Amino acid sequence: MDGLMQNWSMTLDRMLDHAARWHGEREIVSRSADGIVDRTTYAQLHGRAKQASNALIAAGIRPGDRVATLGWNSARHLEIWYGAIGIGAVLHTLNPRLFPEQIVYIINHASDRIILADPACADLLGEILPQCPSVEQVIFLGDEDWIAPHSTECAWGGFDENTAAGLCYTSGTTGNPKGILYSHRSNYLHAMMTLQADALALSARDTVLLCVPMYHANAWGVVYSAPMVGAKLVLPGQRMDGASIHELIETEGVTYSSAVPTVWQMLLTHLKETGGKLTTLQRVTVGGAACPESLIRALHDDHGVDVVQGWGMTETSPLATVSVSTPQIAALSFDEQVPYKLKQGRLLCNLDLKITDDAGQRLPHDGKTFGRLMIKGPTIAAAYFGGEGGDVLDEEGFFDTGDVSTIDTAGYMQITDRAKDVIKSGGEWISSMDVENIAVGHPKAELCAVIGVAHPKWDERPVLLVMLKPGEVAEKQEFLDFLQGKIARWWTPDDVVFVDEIPLGATGKIDKKLIRQRMAGYVLPDASAPNR
């Protein structure tokens, strides 16, 4: 027996329709590269998005065609976003921070027909377009002549909710980037899941500073969830330094934001140097990389901002776990809550997790046993675009995330490493992430990274790389002493190497692949057995 409910297809155009109709005067604020702040509303952006739809149709774009964008967070980017998905085209976000050869590969693999680009990307496009035969047209965001002749009325939706909506490629740290093809249904469900109180908890009363790039896994879904509730959106463009972020937070009354840890480190550095305060910001979500304890404590103790970790990946839409408190943990003191805040959190409803050994056997959720993290659900990739990578699911339908983690008895998952980054020393695993997240709490450290280096007896041993804060000088023993008592003795790095730069990838994560390349030929100063 079927239920007697109306058939209401979950297509993403409905989100901006809702925002325009019921939150039409709520602001969307953008800042351009030259610092000019532009203001619009959901109602106005809705009309321009429909004009963009008509312009795309006039350019010959049809359902299923890939429409690429190349740019930063702005209202112009957002109107093209909805203009494309509203007519059933596939919105393909390109990351302008990737190497040109990677962008060329991605464009060609996706067979993009048109690119809507930020004017700041003009030189990059001039370099790559001769190598991209599928691209028929390039339009620069903000080109009024392109959309002005077109009507603000356009039929949106009317297609199956399983229709492809978005295409986003992995960063390609190993091998070529792989495409994740989201559906309207998967992104719609993801937005509803993230709006839970025990997730991002956005509401119409929030002003959201969207630091997560729109080209990075749907900006963690906030491009959908914020319009869904009518939250004010603040889009920072390219200016992501601490001073610029602080200015937007204070002038726009930002209550919530999300970003990778490096963004918050830059903000904290600026606040310390200037004596600045955060008067409206209440909470932030940190993801993309593990959050150091020092950052959690600084935002909480010095500025009264609650830091909540989230975890996910391009293949998970992306948000999958959030480190919110259970009633038992919420009753603890802040110091007692910190160990749980350092974990990547508890699973959102509608998903399932397991950890397994290399043979695929399930491992216990005891908070101690490390295993390969596997996930399944309606917002999880079932395959890669174009069939890359073959069958990616195990016999139970779980996707292998490539992360190594533990899950404790309270359901908190903690990433201990990427499978390719875990250090195996004497048959035991050392978490490079744990060591570097403690080391970066040293008052002289700006960034830290840990990699495994070959050892004649123990297979691998950890080496700590440190980028000091400007003007600081340090000896390696200072960092070894700082780690003492905070990690297992045999986890202690065999060497500390001071570097001028720790490279970050296109999404703000530490690029350990490049670090390993730079450290090729490095030999440990003492290859004797570590003191365990």
Which amino acids are annotated catalytic? 170, 315, 424, 429
User: For residue 7, how far is the Cα from the chain centroid?
Assistant: 33
- Burial level of 520, CB count in 10 A (0-12/13-18/19+)? exposed
CB 179 within 8 A of CB 314: no
User: For residue 225, how far is the Cα from the chain centroid?
Assistant: 15
DSSP code of residue 221: G
Q: How many other C-beta atoms lie within 10 A of the C-beta of residue 521?
A: 5
Gyration radius of the chain's alpha carbons: 23
DSSP code of residue 387: G
**HSE (CB half, 13 Å, CA atoms) of 148?**
4
- Burial level of 418, CB count in 10 A (0-12/13-18/19+)? middle
Q: Contacts for 136-140 with beta carbons within 8 Å, 24 or more apart? A: 136/59, 136/60, 137/59, 137/113, 138/114, 139/55, 139/114, 139/115, 140/116
Helices marked H in 289-393? 293-303, 327-330, 334-341
Question: What kind and span of H or E run contains 50?
Answer: helix 42-58
Which three-class secondary structure state does DSSP give residue 219?
A: helix
Q: Which residues contact 110 (CB under 8 A, 6 or more apart)?
A: 66, 68, 92, 167, 169, 179, 385
**Token code pair at residue 448:** 């830290």
CB 113 within 8 A of CB 134: yes
Q: How many other C-beta atoms lie within 10 A of the C-beta of residue 27?
A: 16
DSSP code of residue 32: -
CB 396 within 8 A of CB 360: no
Cα-flanking dihedrals φ and ψ of residue 221, to 5°? 85, 0
Tell me the C-alpha to C-alpha distance, in Å, between residue 246 and each of 27, 55, 268, 275, 305: 19, 37, 9, 12, 14
DSSP code of residue 397: S
* CA-wise closest residue to 307 among 320, 316, 298: 298
Which three-class secondary structure state does DSSP give residue 272?
A: helix
Provide the residue type at 234 as one letter. Answer: V
Which three-class secondary structure state does DSSP give residue 122?
A: helix
CB 302 within 8 A of CB 269: no
Q: How far apart are CA 425 and CA 421, in angstroms?
A: 12
